């Protein structure tokens, strides 16, 4: 099992939680971004730099993803592709995307895009709060415990 991180927009505090998990557990972690990232020196942690461009990092993750892998992303379309390929997806706020929830999330995303296209700006996501970090860490721990038992 591998953890992939859509790292261009992933908050630093979430990356730190992931680094600690990769050092503590027998799990490989790959951060995918269109620029070099500083990662701790560890045989289990690496950074993959892809070309700049729309969805290039997403495409690289999906191309290398194996069934059962975990992807950390806030990108709803990427999460949908991950689920379709047999992977698991978790947002940096601790939301576990499932086949039951992803359709609704895609619909809401599409609706918000239509609003923005018509000139209505809904603002961006709120700042990552301590409760979000805790929710992420808890969901990650639950997922890893289940995955490593299997």
Nearest residue to 59 (alpha-carbon basis) of 6, 13, 96, 118: 6
C-alpha span between 112 and 120 (Å, rounded): 9
In the predicted model, what is the mean pLDDT of residues 127-133?
94
Nearest residue to 28 (alpha-carbon basis) of 55, 9, 47: 47
Task: Look at strands 28-33 and 88-90 and give their pairing.
Answer: unpaired
17: tokens are 């939680």
Nearest residue to 105 (alpha-carbon basis) of 95, 116, 120: 95
C-alpha span between 2 and 143 (Å, rounded): 12
Q: What is the pLDDT of residues 25-48, one digit of tens each?
A: 999 999 999 999 999 999 999 999
pTM: 0.86
pLDDT, position 118: 75
Return mean pLDDT, the chain.
Answer: 91
In the predicted model, what is the mean pLDDT of residues 131-148?
96
For the cut 90, the answer to whether the pLDDT of residue 112 exceeds it is no
Sorted by where each starts, the structural domains of the chain and their CATH numbers stand as 2-149 (3.40.50)
Q: What is the pLDDT of residues 63-91, one digit of tens each?
A: 999 999 999 999 999 999 999 999 999 99
- How many Å is the Cα radius of gyration of the chain? 15
Q: What is the pLDDT of residues 15-27, one digit of tens each?
A: 999 999 999 999 9
């Amino acid at each position: 099992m591998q953890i992939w991180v859509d790292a261009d927009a992933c908050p630093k505090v979430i990356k730190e939680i992931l680094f600690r998990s990769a050092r503590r557990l027998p799990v490989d972690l790959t951060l995918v971004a269109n620029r070099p990232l500083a990662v701790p020196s560890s045989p289990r942690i690496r950074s993959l730099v892809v070309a700049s461009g729309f969805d290039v990092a997403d495409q690289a993750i999906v191309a290398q993803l194996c069934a059962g892998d975990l992807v950390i992303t806030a990108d709803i379309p990427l999460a949908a592709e991950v689920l379709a390929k047999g992977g698991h997806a978790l947002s940096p706020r601790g939301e576990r995307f499932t086949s039951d929830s992803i359709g609704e999330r895609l619909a809401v995303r599409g609706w918000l895009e239509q609003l923005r296209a018509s000139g209505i700006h809904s603002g961006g996501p709120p700042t990552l709060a301590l409760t979000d970090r805790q929710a992420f860490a808890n969901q990650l721990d639950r997922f890893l415990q289940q995955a490593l038992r299997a």
